[in-house]
Structure 1
Amino acid sequence: MQTNNKMAVAPVGKLIWQMSIPPLISMFLQYSYNLIDSAFVARLSENALTAVSLSFPITTLMNATSIWIGVGVNVLIAGYLGEKKQDEANTTVTHGLLLAFGIGALLNLLALLIMKLYFRAFTNNEEIYQLSLAYMSVCSFMQIPNMVHIAIQKMIQATGNMIAPMWFQIAGVVVNFVFDPLLIFGIGVFPAMGIRGAAGATVAGYLLSMILAFALLLGKKQKVRIKIKEFHIQKRMIARIFALGLPSFIMNALSSFMVTFVNLFLVAYSDTAIAFFGAYFKVQQLIVMTVNGLIQGCLPIMRFNYGAGNRDRLHSAFRYGTALVSGMMILGTLTVNFFPAQLLELFTASEAMRSFGISAMRIMAASYLFCGLSTMISTYFQATEKVGSSIAIQLCRQLLFLVPALWCLNKLFQLNGIWLAFPVAETATMLIALIIMAWHRHKNIL
């Protein structure tokens, strides 16, 4: 049944485009949520924008956990299909859904429990503190629908169907975009909810995506299905889901910790600096995670052919994907460098923010030139079950190199040093990724 799977026989270049464009669009839409929220919220006040910026590490960590389970399920299903193990693939679907519901509920509760302590650590401004609580007390309820719809999205993508998941992603973003102004500003029959309205629109968008995702998964044409009959919990399968998705979780979770670290440095300067970095990071995530959508299209191709023992197609997918990723990162760098003022205008930037924000965006955007290659190498290791090497690269990017660079360059160049730390850390990470790749080749284990 699986011998005619397009991931085994289709031309690699054409296949990558087919597999990558839908998740690329999906990731663009996924990270449009936060950018749209911030753009509308900024029209309330700079303090409201700061509140959303302070909430971003929490929501990013929640998204990272969703992607962790989703990618783990995706990689495992793609591998089972490559090995022609349909029953194991279906069993993975059921495990993935149970994990998504259970962990989603736990994270929802944790977000509500920690938010007061977390926000108080970053601001003494009572208005910003109260706005942060108002936003997060609603936004935390996004987690169950977020985890479930991403898990189902990855399940369906693992079968080679990249188009259908894109549509329930689009539906959620449209709902968010439409209801943001209605609920924030109170247009027509809708009440003016302010920052709570932005959070409510986000939750509504994710909820719709989850409902549509379930409807799609239960359809008769899907190549994987929920297994109920004779199903039992398999601890080894759960462990593999966690292990295979762990590099993706680390990549995304480190973004949360990184923003937290940066905010700890920025709080010494001003609330405006925190608001700016939150706004900039929405732009960066939109660019970097859109490119990551392309990488996600390459991942099941590499994983399928690794499972099928076809090393030529595995390496071809890696080379072709790397070229596309590098090209898109260059385009992202040029966009930010040519239009920093226009991007800041999306967030109703004050003159104080523009005074340092334009040059800061140009400095940080240089980091995109280096992170494409290292991320693609990390993904290759993920597909071939060299999880340790994949994790090492992600740790270098946003922790082992970035935090020392932030500390040293802040001491030397003050605020500009914080911005310089990003291209410095990405350059060092790229070199380490190339060294690890060369070591694996030398050992003849690629």
Structure 2
Amino acid sequence: METCNKMEYQPINRLIIKMCLPPMISMFLQYSYNMIDSMFVACINEQALAAVSLSFPITNLMNSLSVWIGVGINVLIAGYLGQKRQDKANSVVTMGLILSLSVGIIVNIIVLLTMTPYYSAFTEDSQIFEYGCIYMQICAFMQVPNMVHIAIQKMLQATGNMISPMWFQIAGVVFNLVFDPLLIFGIGPFPEMGIKGAALATVLGYVLSMLISLYVLIFTKQKVKLKIKSFVFDFHMFKNIFGYGLPSFAMNVLSSLMITFVNLFLVTYSDTAVAFFGAYFKVQQLIFMSVNGLIQGCLPIMRYNYGAKKYERVNRTYHSGTAIAVIIMAVGTLLLVLFPRQILLLFSASEKMCSVGIPAIRIMALSYCFGGVSTMIATYVQAMGKIVPSMVIQVLRQGVLLFPLMWLLNNNFNIMGIWWSFPLTEFIVFAIAVIIVKMNKSQVKNI
């Protein structure tokens, strides 16, 4: 057993706990950056909160691109390790770092060039526009360290090392949590920077995570390593990194498009509605990102055992992971249904925001359990290399089905129709996902 990877022989439930808890914590922390910024920025005024809320689709898109490359690297490395092809796994490490650095620089430049027209399209309030541009002029520079450290995080997770990546995230988030108030409000020797301080604390937090991750990969003993001397660019590997990570990218990027789409409706009602949805979505993302962390632990287990042709372990991981996802989502639903006002007050919500937000939170929370199961099914077929059905589930959840339902219900029931479109969409997609998994069950035996 000493020569085997633990994903090949450890009891599944125990393995899921070991593999999933660290990335669940990591994903929870990764998406807490924007929530932490929002909580402190809300103390400035509601316009500042609205500006950071409008920035969320951009920062979420940036994170989505990082996860796209990272998950592609993760799936490819796990598969090669399951096939005992160590040299190939090491080549993926080098290819992944090159891609992460290159894409990060390109995205940084694009964000800087497009943020002014972006904010112009969503607000006529000059103060919100100014706050938003100031915030993103600095936050744009988070992309390179974000992409590099997430790529390394996924490399190590593919080998079964889930602890080190968690510490990358903890270091960055703790830095952001400490320096946000210091730089925003000018506490002690630090200058009062306002919304600039929130952005700067975020960027520096990502830089710290990147530096720690590079040190761990290069200077500590890991099951994969950089391949420099004999590295040759492999187009097939390049294509597979993007292909295998595409469903995860879709899941994340479509949420950015969804927020943008919802904001187009909400701006016709009030800036308060926009500010509320931005605050709510950060809370929702923390719950969904906990499930995403669960997925990031289950995916390499399923992919490794699929590569090793241990199909029973693939299926047991899927079933156990689904049960855990439902439990997480059920707890999240209860918290939001029972304590919506207390959650909104974390963002210094006015009574007007609470009147809009409390019924909205309770309605949208009804979608969570359905979304958790659909996401696990998408991950299961992704682990088998079935990219198209996995993509179909994600695109339906946050795009193709949601948008027309939202338009239809908004026209008939006004703002309440927007909130009800979420649980209705998730229920329909859940039914479709169950059909998809049954259609693909012959690919893996004993489902």
CA distance change for structure 1 residues 429 and 54 in 2, over 3 Å: closer, same or farther?
same
State the distance in 1 between where 2:4 and 2:38 align.
Answer: 46
Deviations 1:293-328 (A, max 9, x none): 011110000000000001010001101111111111
AA in 2 matched with 1:12: I
Q: Which residue does 1:178 correspond to in 2?
A: 178
Equivalent residues in 2 for 1:97-116 (5 A)? 97-116=97-116
2:302 matches 1:302: yes
State the distance in 1 between where 2:440 and 2:316 align.
Answer: 17
CA distance change for structure 1 residues 414 and 310 in 2, over 3 Å: closer, same or farther?
same
Q: Provide the aligned C-alpha RMSD in A.
A: 1.2
State the distance in 2 between where 1:243 and 1:45 align.
Answer: 43
AA in 2 matched with 1:362: R
Q: Which residue does 2:372 correspond to in 1?
A: 372
| Equivalent pair of 1:20/1:294 in contact (CA under 8 Å) | yes
| Equivalent pair of 1:2/1:82 in contact (CA under 8 Å) | no
2:140 matches 1:140: yes
AA in 2 matched with 1:89: A
| Equivalent pair of 1:2/1:84 in contact (CA under 8 Å) | no
Q: Which residue does 1:127 correspond to in 2?
A: 127
State the distance in 2 between where 1:345 and 1:183 align.
Answer: 22
SS in 2 for 1:218: helix
Q: Which residue does 2:63 correspond to in 1?
A: 63
Q: Which residue does 1:331 correspond to in 2?
A: 331
CA distance change for structure 1 residues 87 and 443 in 2, over 3 Å: closer, same or farther?
closer
Q: Which residue does 1:243 correspond to in 2?
A: 243
Deviations 1:264-304 (A, max 9, x none): 00010011100000000000000111111011110000000
State the distance in 2 between where 1:236 and 1:134 align.
Answer: 41
Identity of aligned residues (%): 60
AA in 2 matched with 1:189: P
| Equivalent pair of 1:101/1:147 in contact (CA under 8 Å) | yes
2:17 matches 1:17: yes
State the distance in 2 between where 1:18 and 1:279 align.
Answer: 32
- Per the TM alignment, residue 220 of structure 1 is displaced from its structure 2 partner at its CA by 3.7
Q: Which residue does 1:83 correspond to in 2?
A: 83
State the distance in 1 between where 2:322 and 2:370 align.
Answer: 12
AA in 2 matched with 1:146: N
State the distance in 1 between where 2:101 and 2:250 align.
Answer: 21
CA distance change for structure 1 residues 240 and 344 in 2, over 3 Å: closer, same or farther?
same
State the distance in 1 between where 2:439 and 2:412 align.
Answer: 35
Q: Which residue does 1:162 correspond to in 2?
A: 162
Equivalent residues in 2 for 1:385-400 (5 A)? 385-400=385-400
Deviations 1:58-104 (A, max 9, x none): 00000000000000000000000000000000000000000000000
Q: Which residue does 1:270 correspond to in 2?
A: 270
In structure 2, list runs of 5 or more residues that go unmatched: none
Q: Which residue does 1:197 correspond to in 2?
A: 197
State the distance in 2 between where 1:193 and 1:443 align.
Answer: 56
| Equivalent pair of 2:311/2:444 in contact (CA under 8 Å) | no
- Per the TM alignment, residue 441 of structure 1 is displaced from its structure 2 partner at its CA by 2.9
Q: Which residue does 2:34 correspond to in 1?
A: 34
CA distance change for structure 1 residues 305 and 443 in 2, over 3 Å: closer, same or farther?
closer
State the distance in 1 between where 2:441 and 2:318 align.
Answer: 14
| Equivalent pair of 1:66/1:100 in contact (CA under 8 Å) | yes
Q: Which residue does 1:8 correspond to in 2?
A: 8
SS in 1 for 2:66: helix
AA in 2 matched with 1:168: F
Deviations 1:103-136 (A, max 9, x none): 0000000000000001100011111101100000
CA distance change for structure 1 residues 186 and 168 in 2, over 3 Å: closer, same or farther?
same
| Equivalent pair of 1:381/1:389 in contact (CA under 8 Å) | yes
In structure 1, list runs of 5 or more residues that go unmatched: none
State the distance in 2 between where 1:58 and 1:272 align.
Answer: 20
AA in 2 matched with 1:290: S
What's the TM-score, normalizing by structure 1? 0.98
- Per the TM alignment, residue 442 of structure 1 is displaced from its structure 2 partner at its CA by 6.3
SS in 1 for 2:123: coil
State the distance in 2 between where 1:140 and 1:169 align.
Answer: 19
Q: Which residue does 1:74 correspond to in 2?
A: 74
State the distance in 2 between where 1:122 and 1:110 align.
Answer: 18
State the distance in 1 between where 2:23 and 2:310 align.
Answer: 24
Deviations 1:26-84 (A, max 9, x none): 01111111110000000000000000011000000000000000000000000000000
